[in-house]
Amino acid sequence: MATESGQAYERLPEDETAPLEILYEDSYVQVSTRALVIKRYYFPSFGSRAIPWNKIEWVHLARDANVKCYELKDWGMGIGSIWWNCRSRLIVRGTRPYTLKINGLQNTLASNIVVKVKNAWIRPGSYVDRPDLAMAAIGQLIYRNHPHSS
């Protein structure tokens, strides 16, 4: 694992000359042709984690990955095998300024992703602003990088 400007990265594929194309990005994740980057992942540095596509088995929305309420946490690992990046999942900003609201469990599970990394017990998890767009980009890159897609 290399460190570059305070961010931790797993070793990315050797083809560093390939152009970096970002298909989706928000404040919590970046989906690029090189890797899935989960921002605000490491404690206490807020460093990002880059997971190369050839290391990913699957990525699902939390509801499709059968995530239970006791597995959720604002940062770190709850009861279970998911390490969440830093973001409040159950208490979120309301529509009016300076208001908070409780995010329902179904909304929470529909707006968070879980990543299964090959040969790893801990699964990274992250909130995404636009789950539909993020999952479309992720699905495209997983298919493109799957060994049997040729």
Tens of pLDDT, residue by residue, the chain (150 residues): 444 444 444 555 555 556 789 999 999 999 999 999 999 998 888 899 999 999 999 999 999 999 998 898 888 898 999 999 988 665 566 667 776 666 678 888 899 999 999 999 999 999 999 999 999 999 999 988 876 654
Residue 52 located in a structural domain: yes
Residue 13 located in a structural domain: yes
Determine the pLDDT at residue 7: 45
Residue 120 located in a structural domain: yes
Strand 82-84 vs strand 76-77: parallel, antiparallel, or unpaired? antiparallel
Residue 87 located in a structural domain: yes
Helical H segments across the chain, by residue range: 105-110, 131-145
Single pTM value for the model: 0.79
Contact 32, 20 (CB under 8 A): yes
Residue 122 located in a structural domain: yes
Say if residue 21 is exposed, middle or buried (CB neighbours under 10 Å; 0-12, 13-18, 19+).
exposed
Q: Residue 129's domain spans which residues?
A: 2-145
CA dist., res. 112 & res. 61, Å (int): 6
Residue 63 located in a structural domain: yes
Q: How many distinct structural domains can be found in the chain? A: 1
Determine the pLDDT at residue 5: 42
Residue 110 located in a structural domain: yes
Residue 150 located in a structural domain: no
CA dist., res. 18 & res. 5, Å (int): 22
